[in-house]
Amino acid sequence: MTVSTNPDLAALRWYLDMGIDEATGEVAADWLAPKPTATTAPAPAAGTAPAAVSGTAAPTAARTAAAQTILPPGASPPARPAAPVLPAAQDAQRLAQAARSLAELEDALRAFDGCGLKQTATNLVFGDGNPQSKVMLVGEAPGADEDRQGKPFVGVSGQLLDQMLGFIGLTRETFYISNQVYWRPPGNRKPTDAEVAACQPFIMRHIELVAPKLLVLVGGASTRTLLGRTDGVLKLRGRWFEYASPGLSGPIPAMVLLHPAFLLRTPAYKREVWRDLLTVKQRLDLLQ
């Protein structure tokens, strides 16, 4: 990598390295400038909504709360009423279990504030494809393209995955796809254990509501979350496991597939993926 001596370019490079790879507004915000506090800010005229910042996504409650905590130097924070804090996992479990349909589950996720990823994401990335399908795939986490479009696997690795599944006759009309977490981790970092745990009841309920006949776990991350298998993905790929959860009528055969992003970096594994896809097809054919 060449190190730029232009300070503007060096700053941009630093932003990229920190995972800041998108502008969220037309005008740069000076987050260090003193902000008007609730007592000094002009109140919106009665009956009008506060003006939205141009070009930004609707602020989440957490973003709004964070913005309100910026105070002029020396000012002490106002006393706050203690917020009732539910442990995120308990809240997630309750919300997910209450959902009786995919639409209700999606609404529950939109209302859920227990996963920090939501604060930096633009869109919820829920699922795509045919929810009546016999095959459901679960990947790791949305990336930048998915975050922009609100759909899983629409970026470069998604296009490769579509191509791979096309080889065995599957399209988005005949498979259903989601991820183990529903918002993009900033800078495409790996989701933390806490973020994965917060979303886990939702993806488990998601699988129960789709009730596929076959589950394909795309990559090691969703394999660890849903099967609890910690061996390397190269050891697990191509093998059938059983996935079970209380809301399913019985265990579902689950296959571990190498992640297309891994394949893009390591094309030498194409042969293994091809073999694994044929195994999925054989099993699917038995279900027809």
Which residues form the interface with ligand URA (CB under 6 A)?
Answer: 139-143, 146, 152-153, 155, 157-158, 179, 261
- For tokens 């003193």, the residue is 34
Looking at the Cβ atoms of 179 and 225, the one nearer to ligand URA is 179
Min. distance of Cβ 53 from ligand URA in angstroms?
27
Amino acid at 198: A
Exposure string of 129-163, with b = 16+ CB inside 10 Å and e = fewer, is bbbebbbbbbbbbbbebbbbbebbbbbebbebbbe
Instruction: Specify the residue, 92 or 141, whose C-beta has the smaller distance to ligand URA.
Output: 141
Shortest Å distance, C-beta 222 to ligand URA: 8
Residue with Cβ nearer ligand URA (116 or 139): 139
With respect to ligand URA, which residue has the nearer C-beta, 155 or 212? 155
Give min distance, CB of 66 to ligand URA, in A.
26
Q: Which is nearer to ligand URA, 35 or 172 (CB)?
A: 172
Beta-carbon contacts of 52 under 8 Å, excluding residues fewer than 6 positions away, are 58
The CB-of-155 to ligand URA minimum distance in angstroms stands at: 6
Q: Find the shortest distance in angstroms from Cβ 145 to ligand URA.
A: 8
Which value, in Å, is the radius of gyration of the alpha carbons in the chain? 22
Q: Which residue is nearest to ligand URA (CB)?
A: 139
The DSSP line for 199-214 is: HHHHHHHHHHHH--SE
d(CA 279, CA 119): 40
Q: Ramachandran region of residue 228, left (φ > 0), alpha (ψ -120 to 50) or beta? A: left
Q: Residue 158 Cβ, how far from ligand URA at the closest point, in Å?
A: 5
DSSP single-letter state for residue 57: P
Q: Can you tell me the distance from the alpha carbon of 32 to that of 15, in angstroms, rounded to the nearest whole number?
A: 17
Nearer to ligand URA, 59 or 150 (CB): 150
